[in-house]
Amino acid sequence: MTHQNYWDWMQLALDKALPADRHAELHAHLAECVACAERWETLNRVHTLFLAEPMIAPRAGFTGRFKARRREQHSRPRMVWGFITLGMSAVGTSVFSMFMLALSFWPLAQIVGQPAAANAVFNNVTVASRLASTLAGALWVMVKALGQVILFSPAAWAVALASLAVTVGWLFLLRRLSVQGMVR
């Protein structure tokens, strides 16, 4: 038998799970082993300290507070649906705005997709430089067009930024609500 075996028995003894015949064997060992006797004493001190500690009751009115909270929780689903509707609208607007912006890249994509342009790149450096020039020109035209649409259209900025802000706020609220267990 090792000391560890006796330590396990001590724990079982404290939990009233040690068979009676082993109790005698444990106590015989404790009588002759100082280290185990010390450990037994410390474990007993922990055990006694915890056994003596009373239960703590909540403040008076716990049930009343529970009922109030339950009532409050009943009214929350409507609020949650309100947030979800608002959030879905914001997400929809964001997606639409991004889609419209992406569409403005279409002329650029068309130029890049031309087979003649690709061949020219591989066959002739001169043509390649012309293509680069064409691409740069197209890009410049697009940037100017975008600039006109976005820079000079505060409404576009306002819609895109507001919808993004609402989306971020909505995601934050959803996260908080899920932490509180209202949205699972």
Partner 1 sequence: MTEQDYVARALAGDEDAFTPLVETYQTAIYNLCYRMLGDGPEAEDAAQETFLRAYAQLRRYDRARSFKTWLFSIASHHCIDRLRKRRLTWLSIEDEDLAPHPNLREAAPGPEASALRREHSAAIQKYLARLAPEDRNMIVLRYWYDLSYEEIAEASGATVSAVKSRLHRARGAMAEMMHAPGPAPARQPALAVEGMNR
Q: Could you tell me which of 88, 97, 102 has the C-alpha nearest to residue 166?
A: 88
Annotate 84-96 with DSSP letters as a single string: HHHHHHHHHHHHH
Q: Are 132 and 139 in contact (CB under 8 A)?
A: no
Q: Is 34 in the site for partner 1 (CB under 8 A)?
A: no
Closest by CA to 33, choosing from 68, 74, 64, 5, is 5
Please identify which residue in 31, 49, 103, 155 interacts with partner 1, judged by CB under 8 A: 49
Round to whole Å and give the CA distance between 180 and 184.
Answer: 9
State yes or no: residue 46 binds partner 1 (CB under 8 A): yes
3-state DSSP call for residue 112? helix
Burial class (CB in 10 A: 0-12, 13-18, 19+), 155: exposed
The two structure tokens encoding residue 127: 């043509």
Q: How far is the CB of 59 from partner 1 (least distance, A)?
A: 7
The residue from 2, 21, 34, 54 that contacts partner 1 (CB under 8 A) is 54
- Residue 172 is a binding residue for partner 1 (CB under 8 A): no
Residue with tokens 């109030």: 68
From the list 69-77, 123-131, 155-163, 166-174, the region that binds partner 1 by CB under 8 A is 69-77
Of the candidates 20, 24, 58, 116, which one interacts with partner 1 according to CB under 8 A?
58
Q: Write down the least CB distance from residue 171 to partner 1, Å.
A: 18
**Between residues 27 and 45, which has the closer beta carbon with respect to partner 1?**
45
Q: Is 109 in the site for partner 1 (CB under 8 A)?
A: no
Residues that bind partner 1 (CB under 8 A): 7-8, 11, 14-15, 17, 38-39, 42-43, 45-47, 49-59, 62-63, 65-67, 69-70, 73, 179, 181
